[in-house]
């Protein structure tokens, strides 16, 4: 890689908040401070050209932003505060420097927006597709991470915003819900959380499975994004199906006690939170309605496999589970 690029990058990275970085770019490894009483939360995710995005069709700045945002969302889902990132770019040899700079514009934009340092990383040039791998580090109070496994019978089911139809463009510019972490920590005890990457119903099903509970969903309360309605017009499916099954919303699904929910109800709307059901002892996903409890099947998509949209997924349809 050209030295001038690395100098440019160091200059740009220097402008980011770096409170947690003891030693940053320029040594053999980074040193990250973890305050007393906190644990390190770490997550990593790679996105690859032609699998997760289409370089040339999607803007490089958006691809870089997304690579950061998906990792930030996982930190939010753990109830963590994101502090620093390690960024690894594997660059096709044609126009490697230009590509790196363009991708970094989005990475730096997300870092600035969410107050995260770039603590280090790697750049390689090779004869292969563009790949962006980001490891996000953050902190959680010791023993107080939000796990998938903590939901209990009687907890309320909450979603942090409208879902569905992200493929219309929102999937490239997600808003990881890190804003909710400190607000919720100050007010309540979150029992369990997961971010919606593969689809509301699929990710909710994962949370239920980890917690050993089921859930009764009032599907009429599920906030359906306008993009899900627009997608439904194009696909002939129902907006609700898109809301339940489309992925990459990067909103949070949360479980907390009824008492805690009542404590935050007055602010909940401003924060985007909607109560849409409750966790029950009987396993499975159930919809509540006039006919009583009806079994629902999780639908969503698994990243890394193509579907006809040319993006990153395969429809599981009504996969049995």
Binding site for Mg ion (CB under 5 A): 74, 195, 197
Q: Which C-beta is closer to Mg ion: that of 160 or that of 197? A: 197
Query: What is the DSSP-derived secondary structure letter of residue 170?
Result: G
Integer CA distances (angstroms), 308 to 51, 305, 315, in order:
12, 10, 9
Min separation Cβ 286 and Mg ion, Å: 23
Min separation Cβ 24 and Mg ion, Å: 27
Min separation Cβ 30 and Mg ion, Å: 24
User: What's the count of helices (H) and strands (E) in the chain, helices before strands?
Assistant: 8, 13
First to last CA, the chain: 48
Give the other-Cβ count within 10 Å of 14's Cβ: 12
Q: Which C-beta is closer to Mg ion: that of 87 or that of 252? A: 252
3-state SS assignment for residue 10: helix
Q: Which C-beta is closer to Mg ion: that of 161 or that of 239? A: 161
Min separation Cβ 41 and Mg ion, Å: 12
CA dihedral 136, 197, 163, 173 (to 10 degrees): 50
Residue 3: partners with Cβ closer than 8 Å, 6 or more residues away: none
Min separation Cβ 78 and Mg ion, Å: 9
Phi, then psi, of 59 in degrees rounded to 5: -65, 140
Min separation Cβ 31 and Mg ion, Å: 27
Q: Which C-beta is closer to Mg ion: that of 69 or that of 96? A: 69
Min separation Cβ 246 and Mg ion, Å: 15
Q: Which C-beta is closer to Mg ion: that of 197 or that of 288? A: 197
Min separation Cβ 189 and Mg ion, Å: 21
Q: Which C-beta is closer to Mg ion: that of 164 or that of 174? A: 174
Residue 318: partners with Cβ closer than 8 Å, 6 or more residues away: 297, 299
d(CA 24, CA 315): 41
Q: Which C-beta is closer to Mg ion: that of 155 or that of 195? A: 195
Q: Which C-beta is closer to Mg ion: that of 84 or that of 197? A: 197
- Compute CA 5 distance to the chain's CA centroid, rounded to the nearest angstrom: 30
d(CA 87, CA 6): 13
d(CA 5, CA 23): 20
């Amino acid at each position: 890689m050209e030295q001038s690029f690395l100098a440019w990058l160091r200059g740009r990275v220097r402008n980011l908040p770096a409170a947690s970085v003891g030693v940053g770019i320029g040594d053999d490894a980074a040193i990250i401070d973890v305050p007393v009483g906190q644990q390190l939360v770490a997550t990593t995710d790679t996105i690859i050209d032609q699998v997760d995005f289409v370089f040339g069709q999607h803007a490089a700045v958006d691809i870089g932003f997304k690579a950061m945002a998906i990792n930030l969302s996982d930190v939010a889902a753990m109830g963590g505060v994101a502090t620093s990132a390690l960024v690894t770019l594997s660059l096709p040899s044609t126009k490697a420097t230009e590509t790196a700079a363009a991708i970094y514009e989005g990475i730096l934009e997300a870092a600035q927006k969410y107050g995260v340092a770039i603590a280090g990383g790697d750049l390689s040039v090779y004869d292969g597709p563009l790949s962006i791998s980001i490891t996000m580090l953050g902190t959680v109070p010791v023993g107080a991470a939000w796990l998938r496994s903590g939901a209990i019978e009687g907890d309320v089911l909450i979603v942090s915003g409208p879902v569905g139809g992200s493929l219309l463009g929102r999937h490239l510019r997600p808003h990881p819900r890190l804003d909710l972490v400190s607000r919720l920590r100050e007010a309540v005890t979150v029992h369990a959380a997961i971010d919606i990457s593969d689809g509301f119903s699929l990710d909710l099903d994962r949370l239920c499975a980890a917690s050993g509970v089921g859930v009764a969903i009032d599907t009429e309360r599920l906030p359906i994004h306008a993009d899900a309605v627009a997608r439904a017009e194009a696909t002939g499916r129902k907006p609700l199906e898109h809301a339940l099954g489309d992925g990459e919303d990067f909103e949070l699904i949360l479980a907390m006690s009824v008492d805690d929910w009542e404590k935050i109800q007055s602010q909940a709307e401003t924060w985007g939170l909607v109560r849409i059901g409750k966790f029950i002892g009987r396993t499975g996903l159930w919809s509540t309605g006039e006919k009583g409890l009806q079994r629902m099947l999780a639908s969503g998509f698994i990243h890394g496999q193509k579907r006809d949209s040319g993006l990153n997924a395969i429809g599981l349809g009504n996969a049995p589970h």
